[in-house]
Amino acid sequence: MSILSLNNIAKSYGRIQALKGVSFDVPAGSVFGILGPNGSGKTTLLGIVTDVLKADSGTFTLFDGPAGADARKQIGTLLETPNFYHYLSAFDNLRIAAAIKGRGEDDIQRVLGIAGLTERQHSKFKTFSLGMKQRLAIASALLGDPGVLVLDEPTNGLDPVGIAEVRRLIKELAGMGKTVIMASHLLDEVEKVCDHVAIMLKGNLLMSGPVSQVISREDFIEMGAADLERLKQVIAGHPAFSSIVASTETLQVSFHNGTTAEEVNAWCFENGVRLNHLIIRKKSLEAAFFEITKA
């Protein structure tokens, strides 16, 4: 089942094309990250899905059906910076949120518990850390027990402790069976929290699918020898050789077919090169992302 299915969504602001025919599916039960730098169209896309904005063209479905009011009642949203009354307690702020949403107050204790704020429920909002404020906003989005959460940059502006708290909460929600759709410009966040991702750049969808497939971070072998030029020649002759990046002291080499470090070491020795450095490394997340956006 697809929680959300986008079909060729486009949106312009005058001459600026915020979205250029975006299409992808969000599987049920996934933590789906919409990844891209500022200005890529992430917030515009979430605004369309939550009926804050209207698309110029294209269609989308929710829960494999029409994207109407009944379907949207099953979605909790956090699209802006938490906006609560500073001199009211967490509990009283949630009472107001519940009344606005037409929800009963009997759900407040449940969402406070999920957000880890039960002990601070009677503290004024102004005394909360940034991470606690964000968790309270997520608690508000959870009122009524929606099956889907839509979060726009949920860790934006938080310190490392607040980021860790919100990421842990998102993982816990996923463990409860919730589908979480979140926009982020943080590569590290998507890798640590999401299992599916759509990568956007300047309104274009570049790729979408499981994180492990979309942001491929295959291993490479870093090696060195006394004669780097000779090592280059020997490595280039390996039958599984793919690519090489040279520095002043080492070579970073990629191979096809899962070639092991032991096989590379043996190949070099058989061809008269003794390695003085050999280690397996993983391509950085930034390098993988830049390869996608460059392509």
Note the pLDDT of residue 285: 65
Separation between Cα atoms, residue 34 and residue 32, nearest integer Å: 7
Could you give the strand order of the β-sheet that contains 275-282, starting from the edge strand earlier in sequence?
A: 241-246, 251-255, 219-225, 275-282
Structure tokens at 114: 């999920």
Q: How far is CA 192 from the centre of its chain?
A: 8
Three-state secondary structure call for residue 148: strand
Q: What share of the chain is helix, strand, coil (3-state, %, to 5)?
A: 35, 30, 30
Residue 73's pLDDT is what? 86
pLDDT of residue 254: 85
* 3-class secondary-structure state, position 39: coil
49: tokens are: 């899905």
d(CA 5, CA 227): 55
Write the class of the CATH domain 2-212.
Answer: alpha beta
Q: Where are the beta strands (DSSP E) in the chain?
A: 2-13, 16-27, 31-35, 57-62, 75-78, 148-152, 179-184, 196-201, 204-210, 219-225, 241-246, 251-255, 275-282
Residues 6+ apart with CB under 8 A from 178: 29, 146, 147, 148, 149
**pLDDT value of residue 216:** 65
Q: Is the domain covering 219-294 a CATH 4.10.490.10 domain?
A: no
Contact assessment for residue 130 and residue 157, using Cβ atoms and an 8 Å cutoff: yes
pTM: 0.79
Beta pairing partners, 241: 255
d(CA 177, CA 179): 7
Domain boundaries, the chain: 2-212, 219-294
* Tokens describing residue 259: 């070639």
In the structure encoding, which two tokens stand for residue 40, read together? 């890529």
Judged by DSSP in three states, 170 sits in helix
Q: Report residues of the chain scoring pLDDT below 70.
A: 216-218, 283-288, 291-292, 294-295
Task: Give the count of alpha carbons within 13 A of 103, CB side only.
Answer: 23
Query: What does the alpha-carbon distance between residue 173 and residue 193 come to, in Å, rounded to a whole number?
Result: 11
